[in-house]
């Protein structure tokens, strides 16, 4: 593969369009070329960071710290995530998951403000740029909106429309 700075945002590895990951791999390889230990260490760190973000999201949504702790611990220790942590190329899942969880965490914040909506959409777009599986964010958002539509809090219908538009633009 011939990824260069001039084709980094359009370069496709095995048919995947992941411009954020292209930038991250390109920069990482320039900063620490061939340092596999650093790649693995950052994979472990990113997985731990995702667990921390998940803890805060569950705590904010439910107000139950024990549930948030158990959820985050279960997420961190289950063997279903070993590939994302152990494979350098699977860093896409770690980055995308973290950005998607951050997007949901921003929306779950109080009070609901316009900047939260735009920040959440931006984080969602970055998650899509890391891995296409982040499209699940629209479904998560729709479920969250449906469950809380009477409260007048985020996510609201407009946020759902913005997420959907971002998803359609990504596929185009």
The predicted pLDDT at position 59 comes to 92
- Per the CB < 8 A criterion, the answer to whether 163 and 103 are in contact is no
Q: How far is CA 65 from CA 50, 61, 134, 163, in A?
A: 17, 10, 26, 29
Residue-level pLDDT at 143: 82
- Choose the weakest-confidence range: 48-57, 119-128, 132-141, 149-158: 149-158
Do residues 12 and 132 touch, judged by C-beta distance below 8 A? no
Cα–Cα distances in angstroms (integers) from residue 63 to residues 108, 153, 158, 164, in the given order = 12, 16, 26, 28
Q: Is the pLDDT assigned to residue 152 strictly greater than 60?
A: no
Query: If we measure between CA atoms, which residue out of 148, 128, 147 comes closest to residue 138?
Result: 128
pLDDT digits (tens, 9 = 90+) for 32-47: 888 888 888 888 888 9
∠ CA 88-89-93, nearest 5°, is 100
Indicate the burial class of 61 (C-beta count within 10 angstroms; 0-12, 13-18, 19 or more).
middle
List phi, psi (to 5°) of 13.
-95, 120
Q: Give the closest residue to 57 by CA, choosing from 100, 104, 18.
A: 104
Q: In DSSP terms, which residues pair with 13 in a beta bridge?
A: 16
- Looking at the chain, the whole-number percentage of residues with pLDDT higher than 90 is 33
Element (H, E) at 44: helix 36-62
Q: In this structure, what is the dihedral angle of CA atoms 35, 25, 21, 76, given to the nearest 10 degrees?
A: 10
Under the banding of pLDDT at 50, 70 and 90, the label for residue 67 is very high
Greatest CA separation for the chain: 53
Mean per-residue pLDDT for 101-115? 85
Please report the pLDDT score of residue 57 as a whole number: 92
Q: Return the pLDDT at 168.
A: 93
């Amino acid at each position: 593969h011939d990824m260069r700075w001039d084709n980094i945002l359009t370069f496709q590895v095995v048919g995947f369009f992941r411009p954020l990951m292209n930038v991250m791999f390109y920069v990482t390889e320039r900063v620490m070329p061939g340092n596999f230990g650093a790649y693995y260490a950052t994979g472990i760190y990113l997985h731990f960071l995702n667990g921390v973000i998940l803890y805060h999201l569950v705590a904010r949504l439910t107000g139950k710290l024990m549930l948030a702790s158990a959820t985050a611990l279960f997420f961190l220790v289950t063997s279903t995530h070993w590939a994302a942590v152990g494979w350098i190329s699977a860093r896409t899942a770690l980055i995308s998951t973290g950005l998607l969880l951050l997007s949901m965490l921003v929306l779950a914040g109080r009070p609901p403000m316009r900047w939260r909506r735009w920040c959440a959409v931006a984080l969602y777009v970055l998650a899509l740029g890391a891995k296409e599986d982040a499209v699940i964010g629209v479904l998560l958002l729709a479920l969250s909106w449906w469950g809380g539509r009477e409260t007048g809090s985020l996510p609201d219908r407009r946020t759902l429309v913005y997420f959907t538009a971002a998803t359609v633009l990504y596929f185009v």
